[in-house]
Homo-oligomer: A and B are copies of this chain.
Amino acid sequence: MRSGKIYSSRVQDLTRSLTKRRIEGVLLMPGPNMRYFLGFHTKSWERLTLAVLPTRSLVVPTLDYEKAKSLSAARQVFHYSDEAGPKEALEEALGDLTTTIGSHGVEREFPLWISELLRDVAPGLTLTNVSDSILGMRVVKDADELNLIRRASAAVEKGIVAAKDFVRPGVTETETMFEVERNIIRAGAEETAFCVVQSGANSAMPHAEATSKTIEKGDAVVVDAGATVEGYHADITRTFFLGEPTDRQRKIYRLVLTAQTRAVECIQEGIPAQEVDRAARRVIDEGGFGEYFIHRTGHGLGLEVHEPPYIRNGNSEQLRPGMVFTVEPGIYLPGKFGVRIEDNIAVKEAGYANLTRLPKNLRWSTLRA
């Protein structure tokens, strides 16, 4: 949780933007948005936890009451025991809303069971999906948020460097994954968000997971890891070769590296997000491997590991200072190997800042077998 007036000012901004749509307030579930507007973070999913904005009332199970009072920007916290159930606490938190008719915003994931509870307690409330408005606010990061992403990035880098030291013929993908995660946590991350280690032919499947396959001489090894600091994500990929790469591996690596570098270098305020995707795709198309670059070039980073802006064809949203996203082109040759290189970039008033300081040249990426 951050100090100061950041939470009240965010709530004010949200309320102002929604008033134009005749939406009077917002009901938030546990997750990135509750953390953004109230600084409150909980994993209580089975029981009702709900924030009411703009009044900043919070309903929590008794289990979370002390934490909610000390570690949230809520003005009032209402709690309930398992015996009593949440209904009365919810009524108190809603106050006048239980008897008025009006529209309130909720997140796109808002679940049926809470809608049912509200229909009972506050039958005059209509629920409207306002996720886009909230994500539109979250897309621009302030200096403190950038700092948290930088710290998360530094931790992930230490994990990837640990993989570089750990990988040798005979270790499994899963063992390598645990080595990366262990080092990410040791480097001060709050949590690892995910970690994928793929070697040899496995590296050609960009959506799979680490397996019990042993890594062998000649393999390409894709290491893609994410972590959080105070909820903010970094997400970095490097591709290694165990032993001197073949000519084909070299060629593909250099093509991906050029594509990634070109895409990063074109980043500046005002260009459409899809321009960054096109810059990467153009290099790989011209190299003759366009059909093997089978995903978007990147995604935004913040309180979620995938959030706007999406760096893909068709997204004409203009880049603004404070946006943070991945640039991660890849080439995947089915049954053979894959290469992906991913950095985290912040848009600045002049150009951009690459938050990822890890090397990515072919020499650095070649491991002794």
Contact = CB atoms under 8 A, between A and B. Distances in A.
B110 A112 contact: yes
A323 to B, nearest CB: 19
A111 B106 CA distance: 11
Given A46-B306, A174-B186, A182-B175, A112 B109 contact: yes
Counting contact residues on chain A (CB < 8 A from B), the size range is 20 to 34
Interface string A41-69: 00000100000000000000001000000
A109 B29 CA distance: 12
A346 to B, nearest CB: 23
Contacts of A110: 111-112
Contacts of A174: 182, 185-186
A182 B172 CA distance: 11
Nearest to A294: B63
Nearest to A111: B109
Interface string A106-121: 1111111101100000
Interface of A: 46, 63, 82-83, 106-113, 115-116, 127, 129, 131, 174-175, 178, 181-182, 185-186, 207, 306, 312, 314
13 contacts: A108-B113, A109-B111, A109-B112, A110-B111, A112-B127, A112-B129, A113-B131, A174-B182, A174-B185, A174-B186, A175-B182, A178-B178, A178-B185
Per CB-CB distance, the 8 closest pairs between chain A and chain B, nearest first, are: A108-B113, A110-B112, A109-B111, A178-B182, A174-B185, A112-B129, A178-B178, A108-B112
